[in-house]
Amino acid sequence: MTTYNVNPATRTGNLSLPDARTLHWYEWGPITGKPLIFCTGAGMSGSLSFGEQELERLNIRLIVPDRPGLGNSSLHFHKTLVSFAQDVAEILKHYGLQKCMVLGFSQGAVFALTLAKICKATGLAIVAGQDQFSYPATQQLLNQDIVNMVKQRNAEPEILKQWVSQNITADWLMNFIMAHSSAVDLSLYSQPNFLQAYRQCLNEGFSQGAEGYAQDLMLTFGQWPFDPEDITCPVHLWYGKQDASTVHSPDFGEILSTRFPHAEHTVFDNEGGSLLWRKSKDILEKLALTYV
């Protein structure tokens, strides 16, 4: 078993947005490197990164925002997928960056897709990403619990949002992740240093309560503002067949990969949802090639 070393952020940033909200982020890698925006998974702050050992070699500057209402970023009562992308555009403007790469993990894949469109990304990586649950062909493959949740989200959105806000906690989400992880994922998630960092990340994500997470769930389970067909930059989808999560992609990105104009699709037989950390080198090397 390979031990994963978790490294704290090299730098952090705070930005006062035009509407007086605060946007917070974490950074790893060379400050002059190719900017990569990482959209984290459900309920996560930006404090848990990946592939830190590869960043210097590949000259990648990893920037990981706290989404509004999570971590140290102010709650945005009218948050949308597009408004998050506009927030990240303010980070790029703050640093004078004209372009970036984007990566989305799990629930963050939906935010990354929107960000890739709004910020004109040079390349997009989707890693164990949540699929478009409203797409008919994909919908037919979904777990029944997810089908029911999508139906409730569309029929009774305020009731579902209120229930999630009042009942979901960082501990609940951590337990859900562990309960829906395969043996290969648990071999990483159960390592004491990684588990501590993941728990801390979720505790930070829920430090303002669960409303930020509830907003994210409602947004990603609803209609997307852009379809995969609208994303023209190179896209690489990464999945593992041992991924037991019901909230990722029911066919490991097979249908989704056919919907992007320029896509590459890699599926590992012996990997699961944790391939973001287990296959960091491969993922970052491919993504870095798009920054031209």
CATH number of the domain within which 52 lies: 3.40.50.1820
68 domain-assigned: yes
Count Cβ atoms below 10 Å from residue 249 Cβ, excluding itself: 25
- Report the candidate in 291, 232, 243 with the shortest Cα–Cα distance to residue 268: 243
Structural domain includes residue 134: yes
Mean pLDDT of the chain: 97
Structurally, how many domains does the chain consist of? 1
Q: Has residue 42 been placed in a domain?
A: yes
pTM of full prediction above 0.95: yes
pLDDT in tens, 227-260: 999 999 999 999 999 999 999 999 999 999 999 9
**CA gap 289, 139 in Å, rounded:** 33
Instruction: Confirm whether 18 is domain-assigned.
Output: yes
Residue 196: strand pairing partners:
none
CB 264 within 8 A of CB 236: yes
* Structural domain of 200: 11-290
CA 119 to chain centre: 16
Q: Which residues of the chain have pLDDT under 50?
A: none
Query: Which helix (DSSP H) or strand (DSSP E) does residue 264 occupy?
Result: strand 263-268
Residue 1 in domain: no
- pLDDT tens for residues 150-193? 999 999 999 999 999 999 999 999 999 999 999 999 999 999 99
**Spatial contact of 12 and 269, defined as CB atoms under 8 Å apart:** no
Q: Does residue 17 sit in helix, strand or coil?
A: coil
- Asked whether residue 132 is domain-assigned, the answer is yes
